Amino acid sequence: MNILDLARSKVVLGDGAMGTMLQKHGLEFGECPERFNLERPEVLRMIHKAYADAGSEFVTTNTFGANRIGLARYGLDERIADIIKNAVASAREAVSGGVLVAGSVGPTGALLEPYGDAAPADVREAFREVGGHLDGEAIDFFVVETMTDVNEALLALEGIKSVSDRPIVATMSFQKTPKGMRTVMGHQPAASAAQLIEAGAAIVGTNCCNGAEEAVWIIEEMGEVGVPVIAQPNAGIPVIEGGNPVYNQTPERMAADVPRLLAAGVRIIGGCCGTTPEHIRAIAEKL
């Protein structure tokens, strides 16, 4: 079943973090997370399998930063095809029994004109390329995620739609401000959701927000949008203990907010930074 029909028929359990899981498996600071796709795909398979075992109904490829603009910072831009091919293969090999594979598409890290230097056409082209590779590797759907500039998210949708008909989930990161929930670029949940849907997103929502409670606030602000809504919050805000970052939200604490997410209308629940297969397992028990 495709993700849209699935989310219309039931509440769907997503997966949790990739980046913070990779750190546990030796991802060094300053290192490109997608390098694992080339050098240590067995780690990806292990993480994907752990999520599927915990009950995730889809797993998300390690391709968050696999766009030409982002990869160029690590000198890996010419490896983009292999990076994406290996990411999708690792996910496919790790799961079975109808678990879907979502292709992650994160921001380029460039700021758009006029406030930044990136020409919209270049950014759209970078997303078109990612979309083409992921589509070619036969993912089930796209997850455009962690967007803070709705204009960049729209370019991602345009770029992907120009090469693929697969469904697109689009999520943005909002945080608490004196004026309510906003992205760092000032974009609001309801207006952003409307724009993303208008541009062809099949499912919209939020990810990489500070814990499940803030996700509830975001989804409430988003209001009735007419398509299924997804929430993939972080395991709270990292606190520093002995010089190391620790996410203070335990699986149980995070799962305790699941009824509120459901009451707010969320149809797909997963996790972002700091969440683990244990978090997903705890959420599964609440569904």
Partner 1 sequence: MDTLSQLKDAVLNGEYTKAGPLTEEALKGGADAGSVLNDGLIAAMDKVGELFKAGEIYVPEVLLAAKAMHAGMDVLKPELVKDGVESRGKVVVGTVRGDLHDIGKNLVAMMLEGAGFEIIDLGNDVPAEEFVEAAEKNGAQVIGMSALLTTTMHVMKETVDLLKQKKLDGKVKTMIGGAPVTLSFADEIGVDGYGDDAATAVDIAKKFTGN
Asked if 99 contacts 57 with a C-beta cutoff of 8 angstroms, the reply is yes
CB under 8 A: which stretch of 76-84, 92-100, 164-172, 240-248 binds partner 1? 240-248
| Residue type present at position 67 | N
Could you say which of 121, 191, 239, 263 contacts partner 1 (CB under 8 A)?
239
**Is position 120 an interface residue for partner 1 (rule: CB under 8 A)?**
no
Instruction: State how far the Cα of 234 lies from the Cα of 211, in Å rounded to an integer.
Output: 5
Which residue, among 121, 173, 119, has the nearest Cα to 144 in the 3D structure? 173
Site string for partner 1, 185-204 (x = CB under 8 A): xx------------------
Min separation Cβ 185 and partner 1, Å: 5
- Using CB under 8 A, which residues numbered 135 to 164 contact partner 1? 149
Please name the residue ranges forming H helices in the chain.
Answer: 3-9, 19-24, 35-39, 41-54, 68-72, 80-94, 120-136, 150-161, 189-198, 211-222, 251-256, 258-263, 277-286
Q: By C-beta, is 37 or 183 nearer to partner 1?
A: 183
Size of the site for partner 1 (CB under 8 A): 25
Q: By C-beta, is 111 or 194 nearer to partner 1?
A: 111
CB under 8 A: which stretch of 132-140, 158-166, 223-231, 242-250 binds partner 1? 242-250
Which residue, among 22, 49, 46, has the nearest Cα to 36 in the 3D structure? 22
Asked if 204 contacts 197 with a C-beta cutoff of 8 angstroms, the reply is yes
Asked if 128 contacts 120 with a C-beta cutoff of 8 angstroms, the reply is no
Q: By C-beta, is 120 or 238 nearer to partner 1?
A: 238
CB under 8 A: which stretch of 41-49, 96-104, 152-160, 183-191 binds partner 1? 183-191
Q: By C-beta, is 43 or 269 nearer to partner 1?
A: 43
Exposed/middle/buried for 99, CB within 10 Å: 0-12, 13-18, 19+? buried
Could you say which of 75, 97, 98, 178 contacts partner 1 (CB under 8 A)?
178
| Residue type present at position 162 | S
Min separation Cβ 113 and partner 1, Å: 11
**Is position 245 an interface residue for partner 1 (rule: CB under 8 A)?**
yes
Min separation Cβ 187 and partner 1, Å: 8
- Using CB under 8 A, which residues numbered 26 to 85 contact partner 1? 28-30, 73
Asked if 198 contacts 154 with a C-beta cutoff of 8 angstroms, the reply is no
Instruction: State how far the Cα of 71 lies from the Cα of 80, in Å rounded to an integer.
Output: 8
Q: By C-beta, is 28 or 224 nearer to partner 1?
A: 28
Instruction: State how far the Cα of 67 lies from the Cα of 129, in Å rounded to an integer.
Output: 8
Q: By C-beta, is 93 or 113 nearer to partner 1?
A: 113
Chain center to CA of 125? 20
Instruction: State how far the Cα of 14 lies from the Cα of 30, in Å rounded to an integer.
Output: 28
**Is position 132 an interface residue for partner 1 (rule: CB under 8 A)?**
no
Binding site for partner 1 (CB under 8 A): 23, 28-30, 73, 109, 111, 114-116, 149, 177-179, 182-186, 238-240, 243-245
